[in-house]
Amino acid sequence: EPEVTQTPSHQVTQMGQEVILRCVPISNHLYFYWYRQILGQKVEFLVSFYNNEISEKSEIFDDQFSVERPDGSNFTLKIRSTKLEDSAMYFCASSGASGTINTGELFFGEGSRLTVL
């Protein structure tokens, strides 16, 4: 069964360093998302991406964050200069297979745990 895959599963970085989290969404999906979950808190929306551009972003998604779909398969989240408070689990998700009814269901990856020291 197709699934969303994320790499790395865990990354430790120093404050101020750049981090790139990678995702391979399900191949025929059209909408892509990043969510994050700080330990013990709720899952929060960061950004959605459709038709090669950001369709919506939250207040969390400031200038330090960017997303790209560089080659038609990968979907990346870059944090330019990490802060301690960026430590969280980052989930990629995709939805909306072309030609199907919109059910609203998102398919999530297993997450990338980011630890900023």
Partner 1 sequence: AQTVTQSQPEMSVQEAETVTLSCTYDTSESNYYLFWYKQPPSRQMILVIRQEAYKQQNATENRFSVNFQKAAKSFSLKISDSQLGDTAMYFCAFMSPRRNSGNTPLVFGKGTRLSVIA
Q: Rule CB under 8 A: which residues touch partner 1?
A: 3-4, 30-31, 33, 35, 41-45, 48, 50, 55-56, 58, 91, 95-96, 102-106, 108-111
Q: Secondary structure of the chain in the HEC alphabet?
A: CCCCEEECCEEEECCCCCEEEEEECCCCEEEEEEEEECCCCCEEEEEEEECCEEEEECCCCCCCEEEECCCCCCEEEEECCCCHHHCEEEEEEEEEECCCCCCCCCEECCCEEEEEC
Minimum separation from the CB atom of position 23 to partner 1 (A): 11
Nearest residue (CB) to partner 1, 50 versus 65:
50
Comparing CB distances to partner 1, the nearer of 24 and 30 is 30
